[in-house]
Structure 1
Amino acid sequence: MVVTQTDCPARIVPAGTPVTIPKDTFVTITQSLGGNYTLTWHGQMVRVDGTDAAALGLEAEKLSFPPAETDEIVETQVWDALRTIYDPEIPVDLVNLGLIYSVRIDQQAHRVDIDMTLTAPGCGMGPVLVGDVEYRVAKVPNVETVKVELIFDPPWQRDMMSEEAQLATGMFY
């Protein structure tokens, strides 16, 4: 159990609805994977991004980029942000899991459109993962809007995982 040090942004699990946990609130940390935290707050499960961990009195995950030299979005920075997002049940990032199908950048609108999938269409953590992607990619310089589309065609298969991810999960074949 910890006490929030400041107002703490969170998302309700599994809906992904944003909420703010007020300062000086007791919460119970039930899980910490991939730098994110799952908490129990008022009998409800919520997820706090690791970049906001200082609000829980913990060391915040650093997600920083060099200052932008232009007003354009740098695609490699978008992919770097995506590599910091881990599946809540598997300690592997979404890129290495093969869950990110495409990234499209509209430089004029300062928008990033992402097509992604889940390991299973019925995964209850889908809205939370979408929220994680939106939250982290929005931290990339010059990104004003992030739109994530969950798609299931083609369906995810374990051979979409990187070799590193297959080894880490024991799914290498």
Structure 2
Amino acid sequence: MITKQIVLDKLKEIYEPCAPIIDIVRMGMIDDIQIEDNSVKVSLILTTPNCPARFKMVKIVKGKLEEIEGIGNAEVVISDKKWSPDKLSEEDRKRLGFV
């Protein structure tokens, strides 16, 4: 059975290209995860609206999802929500120079 925690654990293997010391889950880039039977849909928040790596990120996230045993269909969409450093822990904000 595919769970949200299994999906999050797999997505923690992906690092944000502009801040490769923090995974995309800790970066607050996962907006939503929907699971229905063996299909998973992830909504991804980009750190910048015109992120040059947007298509690469979608491909990487989709590929990681497809590594999960039992996944039949993986879909990744870009959220229209804006990312901000507030999504980071205080420790991570310091590591990235936001504090």
Identify unmatched segments of 5+ residues in structure 1. 1-71
Q: In the alignment, is residue 79 of structure 1 matched against residue 18 of structure 2? A: no
Counterpart among 32, 56, 73 of residue 102 in structure 1: 32
Task: Report the TM-score, using the length of structure 2 for normalisation.
Answer: 0.90
Separation of aligned partners in 2, 1:81 and 1:163: 24
Task: Report the TM-score, using the length of structure 1 for normalisation.
Answer: 0.53
Q: In the alignment, is residue 144 of structure 1 matched against residue 62 of structure 2? A: no
| Percentage of pairs with the same residue | 28
Counterpart among 50, 59, 63 of residue 135 in structure 1: 63
Query: Hey, which bits of structure 1, 4+ residues long, moved more than 4 A?
Result: none
Identify unmatched segments of 5+ residues in structure 2. none
Counterpart among 93, 116, 119 of residue 23 in structure 2: 93
User: Based on CA coordinates, which of the two structures has the bigger radius of gyration?
Assistant: 1
Compute the displacement of 1:168 (Å).
2.1
Higher normalized contact order (CA 8 Å, seq sep 6+, divided by chain length) = 2
Separation of aligned partners in 2, 1:96 and 1:164: 11
In proportion to residue count, which structure has more helix?
A: 2
